Chains A and B, each alone.
Chain A
Amino acid sequence: MGFTGLYFIPGQPLVLAEGQSVFVDINWVGGDSFPQDAIPYRIVSDAPADELSATPSTVEVGPRVSNAGAVLVRAIADDRADEAPATYTLEVQPEGPLAEGWAHDLARAKMEVTVVEAEPTPPDEQSQAYSCPETRIQPLAEGGPRDGGDWMRSVHGDDLADYLTSTVTLQTAHPRTALSLVGPYRRPFAHREMEGESPLYRPYPFGFLFDLALRETGGGFEQVMTFAWFDDVRLRLETPGCDALEAICEDGACRVR
């Protein structure tokens, strides 16, 4: 019983910059047998409330429960400029009784968290330093239909016998730019449905990428990729502080809006 999960490493403090927060799990560790459904545990800390918080302060933990006892650990943003890192302890303390014959083994009951000064925001992430027109996406449809190959036909039937390609070029100087593949990207397994097989599985993707090339462009980067698609494809490019751009390919041609 104790701290577990992505952010707990025994004997090693979790480092949080002021303003950062993570979920830390408190869980039953090992074995399936357990004498009761759940036990409340209290989370106590020696950290000042204006430095570090852990919420909620009480959690219930039991067997076979995934992430039952998660707490949000947050380093409070209070401008630690020039202050040395400070390390605090979080501790799990049982509040409820255990069934007769059982004892708490709190081998993972303590966790250290070191609070450090937040790093300054890089200049190119600051909105005033960034110009939205510097983010561009250019989809260019290429040639005509290409043979999808035997394997694709064996899975999808004649629906996907041919595919089309577009070269998509993305240019941006903003490090938080994100590209999403939106719209339908799945195709039914027609033959599976006809054969009455389980609908559990959904085939995807309906398209695929190849020939990826990434290069720096002096303050930004350029990502080129060849996108193979069938009926249509829609990509959404989002950059903080800017209008989203959409690249759409359909009917053998591509456009941006």
Chain B
Amino acid sequence: MDRGASPSHALARRVVLLAVTAGFLATEPVRAYRFWSRNQFDLVASGAAMRWNDDSLPIRFRSLANERFPDILTEVLWLEGIRSGFTAWEEVPTSAIRLRLEGESQSADGWPDRNGVNAIGFAENQDRPFTGAFATLVIQEGRIVECDITVSPQSWNALPEDIDEDALRARVRRLILHEVGHCLGLGHSAANPMWRVWQEAPSEWSRNGDPPQDVRTFFPNPKMAYASSYGYPGLHPDDIAGISLLYPAAGFLENTGTVRGRVVFTDGSPASFVAVSSVESEDAANPFGAHTFTDAHGQFVLEALRPGRTMLWIHPYLVPAGKAFSTADVATPDMNHTMIWPVVAAGRTLDLGEIVVIRDEGGAP
């Protein structure tokens, strides 16, 4: 519904979405799950997700030049990090997404605008203070037409002066991977229902301490999850599934399957906003595949699954708390983890009907 016969009519058709980094969205996770929709309160399957038109590819970005640029960064490092993040998305073999960083920088204050240029830059705003970074999307007629990535210089200016170039470049890359994912149409996804346990993890992880003895499995989180595996260099299968659903390469949709169902408690009430994660054991080092969430009715549609038997791990939604993964009271019901093993068929949708889970009566500690 739009306001008719009003000068604001055209503007009302433009919806601006803000996609922020983890710190801002701990209390209202129903916004921005998995894909963007015209209404941020809704979960949608990929067919109704907002994306760029195919004729918009490659999506072109410009770097902003202004006085907010952190002293610790050089322009060369900044641009290398951006290009590295772009390359990671472009190298997904099952996706047709293409990105370009134009050589020309643009002088601007960095605060998101609607000027038809996709920009990446640093900004501060005393009226709207923020930390981290966020992506601002402009939507017209259900399609993404512009995206600006705005980065606070605050944490960059607090970095030690002796930080090495590789670490800085990797830091830019991580930021770009996540925020560009938002620009392409990906909301936040689920974290794995596990501790981040590993032995082969990148060295950067070691700052958090040694892993449990004899644990050989590395469970990275998706780049688009609230609880990102910051030190993990690659995209997670869930990120790959998401971008491939939005911009599929030839054959991708035909060669993957979909499972849908409704998660309920034993009393029939819906298990709303819980995570449904696929586990594909063929890759023992990284078994988690695509994730999704249930909607307010407990319904879910999990797409981009590899054909064959798959474990679905249904679990409370996770948000980061300090150094651990935790559940937030506002985000997800108290429920016990449940696993089921459906058989996925390529190019088809399997309806699992109702899946009954057990409410956790343990209460808060």
Contacts and interface: CB of A to CB of B under 8 A. Distances in A.
Interface of A: 1, 4-10, 12, 15, 17, 20, 22-23, 25, 27-31, 33-34, 66-67, 70, 98, 101-106, 146-155, 163, 165, 172, 175-182, 184-189, 192-193, 199-205, 208-214, 216, 221, 223, 228, 236
A193 B48 CA distance: 43
Query: 5 shortest A-B CB distances, which residue pairs?
Result: A150-B209, A103-B4, A151-B209, A188-B365, A9-B47
B253 interface: no
Contact of A101 (B3, B197, B296): B3
18 contacts: A6-B301, A7-B45, A15-B349, A20-B353, A22-B299, A29-B39, A34-B1, A103-B2, A105-B1, A151-B209, A181-B337, A189-B365, A202-B364, A205-B337, A208-B195, A208-B212, A214-B281, A214-B309
B91 to A, nearest CB: 27
Contact of A182 (B47, B194, B336): B336
B12 A30 contact: yes
Given A67-B41, A103-B2, 11 more contacts: A12-B47, A23-B295, A98-B1, A105-B4, A148-B212, A149-B211, A154-B208, A180-B337, A181-B338, A201-B321, A204-B316
Interface string B309-332: 101000010010111111111100
B160 interface: no
Residue with the highest number of chain A CB atoms closer than 10 Å, among B37, B296, B324: B324
B167 interface: no
Nearest to B339: A179
A125 to B, nearest CB: 11
B1 A28 contact: yes
Contact of A185 (B208, B337, B349): B337
Given A151-B209, A176-B340, A203 B321 contact: yes
A5 B324 CA distance: 32
Given A146-B212, A185-B337, A70 B297 contact: yes
B210 interface: yes
Nearest to A27: B39
A211 B216 contact: yes
Nearest to A31: B12
Interface stretch (B78-86, B121-129, B231-239, B355-363): B355-363
A74 to B, nearest CB: 13
Nearest to B352: A176
A34 B12 CA distance: 11
B213 A146 contact: yes
Contacts of A202: 326-327, 329, 364-365
B295 A6 contact: yes
B10 interface: no
Contacts of B48: 4, 8-10
Nearest to B293: A6
Interface residues of B, number: 80
Given A202-B365, A212-B281, A104 B213 contact: no
B340 A146 contact: no
B71 to A, nearest CB: 32
B311 A152 contact: no
Given A205-B194, A213-B284, A9 B45 contact: yes
A108 to B, nearest CB: 8
Given A6-B299, A147-B213, A228-B212, A186 B3 contact: no
A103 B321 CA distance: 45
A154 to B, nearest CB: 5
A49 to B, nearest CB: 23
A150 B210 contact: yes
A134 B216 CA distance: 31
B169 to A, nearest CB: 26
A156 to B, nearest CB: 8
B5 interface: yes
A223 to B, nearest CB: 7
Contact of A149 (B43, B213, B329): B213
B203 interface: no
Contact of B340 (A6, A27, A178, A200): A178
Given A208-B197, A211-B216, A6 B321 contact: no
Contacts of A98: 1
Contacts of B295: 5-6, 23, 25, 67
B287 interface: yes
B52 to A, nearest CB: 17
Contacts of B309: 214, 216, 221
B15 interface: yes
A151 B329 CA distance: 24
A6 B44 contact: yes
Contacts of A150: 208-210
A52 to B, nearest CB: 16
B165 interface: no
A204 B327 contact: yes
A223 B341 contact: yes
A228 B215 contact: yes
A7 B358 CA distance: 25
A70 B41 CA distance: 13
Residue with the highest number of chain B CB atoms closer than 10 Å, among A66, A202, A205, A221: A202
B42 interface: yes
A182 B39 contact: no
B136 to A, nearest CB: 15
B342 interface: yes
B138 to A, nearest CB: 12
